[in-house]
């Protein structure tokens, strides 16, 4: 009987997803995915053309960068379900033109019922996939509270007006891209296994490019958020549905977890690199400290003379990455729970000392490398960036963690819960789904935020915003941002060249340089292997979204060619 019910449900969903009613936010399909755009007033870059269009129209209607960011975030929750979300969380950096730079941590939190050993069996071993799939993998979502907090402090247009585009896109539908069709087809069974209902993301036949995705339940949830603000998610009808899903599927999140969730305004991490002033996230993001360490360790060497993707440059950068990730595993976690020696980890003398074992002709063995002793002190993710005509700039990275998070769609709400509990160290020394090793500093605890790699960045020159950038990609995020900056500051690339260039990544363990296909010439790869590096070819790394101020004063937006990402400006 269950098999017949599921098949019927698939068929009904298949019919409902084939027809859509046009909304005022509709863009003719196939979408025009502009990878580069210029404008003298404003710019939006995001992972989906409809989200980018939404942000641009908000700006054209008199909204500021914050208004556009809120609208883009909710639009991505509809049109980019693999990472755009209201069931996840993230970080942002905001630079008001005439005010102090701020950062907001709306990272998910462990429920109060969470325990340090909740993903271990009776023998102390990791239970496979328990921290990855299902409702227990979810931390308390922070995206809605984060957007509400941001808008309350800096927004200009009415809250409900900013969510209306997302409501229409969910209720009336939109046509999916080829990439989204492939992703949904791949996850069909995981959605069915981990949800108490058959969600809108599943249909009997395979999804195809141009099919309509209609999400009526999500539209109802967005309507509640539109009408009631944060209470429309963390209390009332939506909260009741989340708690019902937890009860049905064995979750541990409770009403108090939702009601008590709060985003945190944190002091941004700021440092200089040559003539660039870099502003990024402090912990619980590891990305900012890693970026600071990478630029700090490599600045002692003539990187520009080595040249782009030469064996010498790659070897140096990979060795710096190896050391930064070893430090990450030992020291970094939620600053509300553990003391992090952030200043010591970025101290110039310490970084010189970390590179004392660097051999220009030989790779370090990761098994022989541990975290340093700093001086004592007193996947799937998505990124978007916006600058407005007043000079305000915002850089936002938001996530469900893995692609489609926990694959658990809350019945009656239409949204996917995150699987951020996997970003904790379920067991010290055991890697998570991104291969990242963690220690006691990142152990699970009630109310704690898991360590993240998200690295939203704003860069200024002479006190004026020069660039906004970021990327998804799990542990590859800070190394991708590192390469964009180095490509431009050291190798003289334009922003389009820097974004399009092939990428590589090292994270201490596993002991390998991961590279995109054809990233290195055969000669360079042979040289690296002779030095002792193991080179592993993998899928594309990251999807960078970036905006830069050109010498003419115009804004240039660049969307990564690795996805459906789109840049638009005016």
The set of catalytic residues is 381
111 φ/ψ angles, rounded to the nearest 5 degrees = -60, 160
**Residue among 505, 524, 501 nearest 514 (CA):** 505
Residue keyed to tokens 């970003």: 423
Record the tokens describing residue 489, joined without a space. 């500051």
| Neighbouring C-beta atoms of residue 157, cutoff 10 Å | 18
Q: Which residues, in sequence order, are bridge partners of residue 126? A: 120
Residues 555 and 42: beta-carbon distance below 8 Å:
yes
Instruction: Say how far apart CA 480 and CA 5 lie, in whole Å.
Output: 45
Residue keyed to tokens 């003289």: 492
Instruction: Say how far apart CA 221 and CA 219 lie, in whole Å.
Output: 5
Residue-wise burial string across 304-340, b where 16 or more C-beta atoms lie within 10 A, e elsewhere: eebebbbbbbbbbbbbbbbbbbbbbbbbbbbbeebeb
Instruction: Say how far apart CA 383 and CA 474 lie, in whole Å.
Output: 12
Pairing of the two strands 535-538 and 513-516? parallel
Record the tokens describing residue 517, joined without a space. 């296909």
Which of helix, strand or coil describes residue 518?
coil
Instruction: Say how far apart CA 541 and CA 516 lie, in whole Å.
Output: 7
CA distances from 291 to 129, 278, 553 (A): 30, 10, 27
Instruction: Say how far apart CA 33 and CA 71 lie, in whole Å.
Output: 19
Residue-wise burial string across 96-121, b where 16 or more C-beta atoms lie within 10 A, e elsewhere: beeeebbbbbbbbbbbeebebebbbe
């Amino acid at each position: 009987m269950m098999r017949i019910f599921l098949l019927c449900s698939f068929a009904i969903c298949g019919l409902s997803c084939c027809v859509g009613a046009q909304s005022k936010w509709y863009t003719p399909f196939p979408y025009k995915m502009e990878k580069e755009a210029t404008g003298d007033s404003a710019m939006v870059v995001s992972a989906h053309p409809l989200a980018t269009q939404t942000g641009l129209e908000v700006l054209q209607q008199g909204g500021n960068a914050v208004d556009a960011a809120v609208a883009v975030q909710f639009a991505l929750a509809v049109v980019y379900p693999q990472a755009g979300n209201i069931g996840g969380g993230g970080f942002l950096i905001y630079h008001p033109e005439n005010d102090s730079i701020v950062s907001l941590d709306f990272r998910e939190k462990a429920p109060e019922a969470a325990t340090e050993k909740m993903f271990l069996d009776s023998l102390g071993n990791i239970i496979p996939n328990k921290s990855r799939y299902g409702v227990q993998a979810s931390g308390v979502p922070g995206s809605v509270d984060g957007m509400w907090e941001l808008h309350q402090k800096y927004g200009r247009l009415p809250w409900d007006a900013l969510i209306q585009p997302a409501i229409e896109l969910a209720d009336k539908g939109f046509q999916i891209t080829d990439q989204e069709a492939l992703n949904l087809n791949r996850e069909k069974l995981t959605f069915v296994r981990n949800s108490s209902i058959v969600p809108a993301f599943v249909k009997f036949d395979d999804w195809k490019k141009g099919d309509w995705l209609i999400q009526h339940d999500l539209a109802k949830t967005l309507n509640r958020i539109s009408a009631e603000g944060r209470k429309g998610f963390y209390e009332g009808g939506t909260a009741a549905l989340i708690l019902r899903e937890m009860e049905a599927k064995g979750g541990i999140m409770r009403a108090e977890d939702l009601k008590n969730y709060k985003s945190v305004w944190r002091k941004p991490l700021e440092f200089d690199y040559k003539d660039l002033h870099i502003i990024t996230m402090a912990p619980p993001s590891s990305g900012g400290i890693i970026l600071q360490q990478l630029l700090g360790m490599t600045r002692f060497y003539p990187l520009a003379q080595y040249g782009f993707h030469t064996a010498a440059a790659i070897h140096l950068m990979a060795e710096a990455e190896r050391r930064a990730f070893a430090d990450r595993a030992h020291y970094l976690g939620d600053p509300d729970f553990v003391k992090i020696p952030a200043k010591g980890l970025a101290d110039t003398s310490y970084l010189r000392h970390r590179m004392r074992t660097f051999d220009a002709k030989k790779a370090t063995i990761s098994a022989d490398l541990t975290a340093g002793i700093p001086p004592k002190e007193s996947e799937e993710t998505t990124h978007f960036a916006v600058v407005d005509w007043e000079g305000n700039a915002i850089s936002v990275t938001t996530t469900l963690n893995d692609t489609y998070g926990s694959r658990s769609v809350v019945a009656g709400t239409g949204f996917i819960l995150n699987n951020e509990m996997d970003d904790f160290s379920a067991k010290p020394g055991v890697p998570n789904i991104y291969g990242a090793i963690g220690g006691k500093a990142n152990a699970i605890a009630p109310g704690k935020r898991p360590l993240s790699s998200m690295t939203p960045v704003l860069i200024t020159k002479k006190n004026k915003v020069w660039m906004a950038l970021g990327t998804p990609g799990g542990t590859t995020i800070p190394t991708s941002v590192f390469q964009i900056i180095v490509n431009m500051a050291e190798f003289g690339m334009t922003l389009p060249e820097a974004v399009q260039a092939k990428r590589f990544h090292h994270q201490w363990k596993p002991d390998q340089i991961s590279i995109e296909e054809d990233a290195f010439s055969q000669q360079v790869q042979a040289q690296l292997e002779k030095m002792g590096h193991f080179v592993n070819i993998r899928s594309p790394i990251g999807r960078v979204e970036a905006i830069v101020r050109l010498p003419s004063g115009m804004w240039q937006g660049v969307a990564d060619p690795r996805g459906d990402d789109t840049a638009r400006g005016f």
